[in-house]
Every structure is written in structure tokens, then in C-alpha cells.
């Protein structure tokens, strides 16, 4: 290989490396906001499948449910849904995610089960295993 040709090949390889580096910088993976919404989508899917175990796996250890029930309340809730043949839908189309360090709030989430509807904020916390649901607050 001649010196001129090897310089050209080196220049092409260097350009490719720079372009690959730029492409990798732009694709840093999902944002915290995207991960928070995915978590709620996974939660909705677990509830729709009447899979209490999968739903509980998405909850933080210190999860506080409605009326002070912890994770055990999810089992009762899933059982009630299954008995009634009901499905809980989460409308995330108007949800707003606010992240502050290892905590996040997903407000504007509309939960629907048949005619029943409630707007709430989901409280999330990040741990080594990723984002988990810590609780909910009812919105007025």
C-alpha cells in the first residue's frame, strides 16, 4: 500500500469513528421520563393480565396504596378485578413527568374501570433496580 493510499484509508477510518461516536452520543438510551411512563405501562399490563405478582414486582418496598394498604392490597385489588372481569386502564396521554433526583411524580394519570374514573399522581422512586411505584395521590 502506498503512503498516499494509507493516509486516505486512515482518514476514512477516522471519519467513520467520529461519526459513530456522534451517533452513540445522541442515543444515550431512554430518559427518566420515558422510563417512568414505561413503568406505568408495565403496571397497567400486569393489572390487565390479573398478574398480582408482576404488579407487585413494580412496587417499591415502602409502597403505600390507597387507604394505607401496602403490597398486600394489590393482591386483593387484582382478585377483585378478576372476579368482576374488570380491567384497569391507565390513560397516560396527558401525563406530566417531573423528576427530582431519585424521585419522580407522574401527574395527570387517568385510571378507568368501566364507568369509574379517577385522576391521580403516581409517586416513583429510583433504586438499583430502576424506577418503582412508591404510591399514588388522588388529584381533584
Model confidence pLDDT, tens digit, residues 82-134:
999 999 899 999 999 999 999 999 999 999 888 888 999 999 999 888 999 99
Looking at residue 16, what is its pLDDT? Answer: 44
Select the more confidently predicted residue: 9 or 34. Answer: 34
Select the more confidently predicted residue: 5 or 129. Answer: 129
- Classify 30 as helix, strand or coil: coil
Give the distance from CA 64 to its chain's centroid: 18
Looking at residue 68, what is its pLDDT? Answer: 61
Residue 128 near residue 139 (C-beta atoms within 8 A) = no
Looking at residue 33, what is its pLDDT? Answer: 96
The chain-wide mean pLDDT, for the chain, equals 82
Say how far apart CA 113 and CA 5 lie, in whole Å: 69
63, pLDDT greater than 60:
yes
Looking at residue 120, what is its pLDDT? Answer: 92
The CATH-assigned architecture of domain 31-138 is Roll (3.10)
Running DSSP on this structure, what letter comes out for residue 95?
-
Looking at residue 67, what is its pLDDT? Answer: 60
Select the more confidently predicted residue: 23 or 82. Answer: 82
Amino acid at each position: 500500500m502506498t503512503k498516499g493510499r494509507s493516509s486516505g484509508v486512515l482518514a476514512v477510518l477516522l471519519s467513520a469513528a467520529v461519526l459513530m461516536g456522534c451517533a452513540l452520543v445522541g442515543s444515550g438510551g431512554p430518559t427518566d421520563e420515558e422510563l417512568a411512563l414505561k413503568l406505568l405501562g408495565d403496571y397497567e399490563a400486569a393489572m390487565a393480565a390479573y398478574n398480582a405478582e408482576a404488579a407487585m414486582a413494580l412496587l417499591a418496598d415502602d409502597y403505600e396504596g390507597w387507604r394505607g394498604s401496602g403490597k398486600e392490597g394489590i393482591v386483593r385489588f387484582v382478585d377483585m378485578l378478576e372476579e368482576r372481569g374488570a380491567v384497569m386502564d391507565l390513560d397516560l396521554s396527558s401525563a406530566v413527568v417531573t423528576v427530582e433526583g431519585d424521585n419522580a411524580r407522574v401527574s395527570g394519570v387517568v385510571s378507568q374501570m368501566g364507568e369509574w374514573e379517577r385522576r391521580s399522581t403516581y409517586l416513583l422512586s429510583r433504586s438499583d433496580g430502576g424506577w418503582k411505584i412508591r404510591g399514588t395521590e388522588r388529584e381533584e
